[in-house]
Amino acid sequence: MTAEQAQQRIEFLTGELNRHNHLYYVDSAPEISDREFDLLMEELQHLEQQFPQFADSGSPTNRVGGEVTREFRQVKHRYPMMSLANTYSEDDLRDFDERVRKLLPGEEIEYICELKYDGVAITLAYLNGILTQAITRGDGEKGDDVLANVKTIRSIPIKLKQGDFPADFEMRGEIVMPRSEFERLNREKENVGEQGFANPRNAASGSLKMQDSAEVSKRGLDCLLYYLLSDELPYSSHYENLSKAREWGFKVPNYMAKCSSIEDIFEFINAWDAGRDELPYDIDGIVIKVNSYAQQQKLGATAKSPRWAIAYKFKAKQASPKLLSISYQVGRTGAVTPVANLTPVLLAGTVVKRASLHNADVIAKLDVRIGDTVIVEKGGEIIPKIIEVDLSKRSEGGQSVAFITHCPECGTALVRQEGEAAWYCPNESGCAPQIKGKIEHFISRKAMNIDSLGEGKVEILFDNGLIRNVADIYMLSKEKMLGIEKKYEDEETGKERVVRFREKTVENILNGIEASKNIPFSQVLFAIGIRYVGETVASRLARHLRTIDAIISATKEELLTVEEVGEKIAESLLSWLAVDENRLLIQRLRDSGLKMEYGDEGVKQVSNTLEGKSFVVSGVFSISRDDIKKMIEEHGGRNVGSISSKTDYLLAGDNMGPEKRKKATKLNVPVISEDEFRQMIG
Ligand code: IVH
């Protein structure tokens, strides 16, 4: 095949595959079989490999993923992503309608009612018909560019067919996980002992943030579009533009209505409140928008949301089962959660058998007794909650509930700290769910990032007695792991499933463990999982005190000089470090080769102007104090916590306490300003 022929064929296949994708995923009207589709895709993949010069960023081969994003790039939104005013009440909706009419006296008003899709908001940016960015909402001003992952969503066009679209425009919409995909994913997770997602929204959001787009491509995500933005819009009203966008290939659901009165709006709401379980995806309400852009402009916006739109949220669905018994679950932090076991009832399309009771206070407040009829409600979470007891149905002699006094997992007496609602099992290092929880935290992405050892595998290693704490991970070997297994019962089919560690699994685990030895000290400190030592605090501690030994020997006063470290954190650190077993754990991790000293993590060396110079930074600067400290390190200098005669400079910002200045003067340490510092480093 000549290059020219290859180019033509690639173009042809790209067009065909995009067309069939649209027929299948947007129109639900496929023209060819899956097998035929796969063959075309394979041919295109093959040609693109052979002739990479013709591989297009808009190619449908991107859909299967492969790109791995370590960290998502933050991007500023061109048009800020505002949110909507929310309401559950019909009166509020009437008020909204009256307000709109008052602000537009004498004008005719047309409303568009749409479904409120329950997923993750996304902005898709198109340049000359090519999808160039996909940005999450973030804080509304800037979000993460998750383009590689979004390209795997089959219903989103990567490249538009020829058409009358603006050269530069954005589509906004919601990424959702259809309920069937959600249930499949959770079943898969449960089968290997992993915790499922609470609801399809969380599953969509978790999937979108995965690093490996090939994984995302398997999650069956969908995207429903509801808003077109551009400086050159084809029409001057919302409905007409959305209809146009549908022609360009976007999945804009047809479930929209033009309404001219509040009664029409209520009719739409009631119809969908009753019919929403029949949709393949979750909706949590209805969005009502003023159609005309001229009117939208006149109505304007508040600081947070436009005045021309409102979201009406459906009330949670309720059912009334009986309370059979209460069980108790111990979480990773040792917190004990009561769970109600109920007679099975149908609620919002699923059978409910259990409900969360939160904590002892909630049980006491509800005054719930075994045998009571209770009202359960399903809000955003998959686990419903009990909101009240139906006292009219209470029969005599119901046994009131006394919260357990001992841990159901390990038998230790529970404790409750002042001011806290939860009872805790204090047996941190001997209680199975707490040990597993700590290990799962240790291997998680922002900690030691050993993803080859996902949740289910930790469980298997634990159950086989191979790990009892995080240091044991580094004692694992091929001999110990090969062939170990765990049997699960598939919840749906009741069949037994065996998960066994094979050669490849073991190899991946060992590689992951080895790679974790390069994880910087601040992450190691976070991974250890000391209460209140989160990511930020760990990084401050590492940067400030620099070595694990310095942290171990630091006094409370020294700890308190570290930014972000207050009484609660300092005390938690000190009491954790006071336990011999914990110090031994650190020693074992150090012996295994983990980093226990602050290196030059994340700091690019710009110059060595400040080589050998130590700085104490105090007060408020034109940029954050952390950025100032980073600049010091970038130029070869060193940050120290407190002033001593060995300190070279006190870098003083605004509002620095007088004590620091006094001490510096006394010890002959020069005090410099931000400007002087900037001159120093040129
Ligand atoms: S319009 C300025 N329409 O609901 C108007 N939003 O706070 C922007 N949502 O997270 C929103 N379905 O992602 C609009 N049909 C719909 C929607 C919708 C779901 C989400 C949106 C945002 C939240 C509104």
Atom from ligand 1 closest to the CA of residue 115: 15
**Mean pLDDT across 632-658:** 87
**Would you call 547 helix, strand, or coil by DSSP?**
strand
Ligand 1 nearest atom to the CA of residue 311, by list position = 24
pLDDT value of residue 194: 65
Query: How many Å lie between the centroid of ligand 1 and the Cα of residue 26?
Result: 20
In the chain, count H helices and then E strands. Answer: 24, 26
Give the per-residue pLDDT at 297. Answer: 96
| Distance from Cα 660 to the centre of ligand 1, integer Å | 51
| CA 223–ligand 1 middle distance (angstroms) | 13
pLDDT of residue 600: 59
pLDDT over 80 at 196, yes or no? no
Phi first, then psi, for residue 662 (nearest 5°) are: -60, -45
Is the shortest distance between the CB of 239 and ligand 1 below 6 Å? Answer: no
What residue type is assigned to position 412 of the chain? T
Decide whether any atom of ligand 1 lies within 6 Å of the 201 Cβ: no
Mutate to test the pocket of ligand 1, among 84, 115, 137, 293 (most ligand atoms within 8 A of CB): 84
Confidence of residue 514 (pLDDT cuts 50, 70, 90): very high
Three-state DSSP at 148 gives: helix
116 in contact with ligand 1, CB cutoff 6 A: yes
pLDDT digit string, tens, across residues 33-65: 888 998 999 999 999 999 988 888 778 888 877
Are 236 and 293 contacting, i.e. CB atoms less than 8 angstroms apart?
yes
Lookup: tokens for 293 = 């852009």
For the segment 387-413, the average pLDDT, to the nearest whole number, is 91
| 410 SS3 class | coil
Q: List alpha helices for 398-481, DSSP H.
A: 432-443, 455-463, 478-481
Residue 166: which of 234, 247, 99, 225 has the closest Cα? 234
Cα dihedral 587, 591, 592, 594 sign: positive
pLDDT at position 56 = 80
Local structure of residue 373 (DSSP, 8 states): B
- Dihedrals φ, ψ of 139, to 5°? -95, 10
Q: Which position has the higher pLDDT, 442 or 602? A: 442
Instruction: Return the pLDDT at 454.
Output: 80
Q: Is residue 121 within 6 Å of ligand 1 at its C-beta?
A: yes
Catalytic residue check, 116: yes
Residue nearest to atom 12 of ligand 1 (CA): 116
Q: What is the mean pLDDT of residues 173-200?
A: 83
Categorize the per-residue pLDDT at 656 as very low, low, confident or very high, splitting at 50, 70 and 90. Answer: confident
How do residues 312-339 score in pLDDT, each as one tens digit? Answer: 999 888 899 999 999 999 988 888 999 9
pLDDT tens, position by position, 358-371 = 888 889 899 999 99
Q: Is 306 a pocket residue for ligand 1 (Cβ < 6 Å)?
A: yes
Q: Mean pLDDT of all residues in the chain?
A: 90
Position 518: which residue type?
A: N
DSSP 559: H
Instruction: Give 80 Cα–ligand 1 centroid separation in angstroms.
Output: 13
Which one has a higher pLDDT value, 646 or 113? 113
- In the chain, the N- to C-terminal Cα span, in Å, equals 59
- Average confidence (pLDDT) over 385-391: 91
Residue 332: strand, helix, or coil = coil
Asked whether the predicted pLDDT for residue 145 surpasses 70, the reply is yes
pLDDT on residue 424:
93
Q: DSSP for 51-76?
A: -GGG--TT-GGGGG---B-SSPEEEE
Best mutation site among 83, 111, 272, 312 for ligand 1 pocket (most ligand atoms within 8 Å of CB): 83
Return the H-helix or E-strand segment holding 169. strand 168-176
Q: Residues 116, 436, 595, 629: which is the catalytic one? A: 116
Rg, C-alpha atoms of the chain: 30
- Write the CA distances from 675 to 63, 652, 680, integer angstroms: 51, 10, 9
- E strand or H helix at 570, and its extent? helix 567-577
Tokens 């429903």 belong to residue = 224
Mean pLDDT check: name the lowest of 220-229, 240-249, 298-307.
298-307
Which atom of ligand 1 is closest in space to residue 301's alpha carbon?
A: 2
Return the residue whose CA atom lies nearest to atom 21 of ligand 1: 121
Q: Which pLDDT tens digit goes with each residue over 406-457?
A: 999 999 999 998 877 889 999 988 999 999 999 999 998 889 999 899 868 9
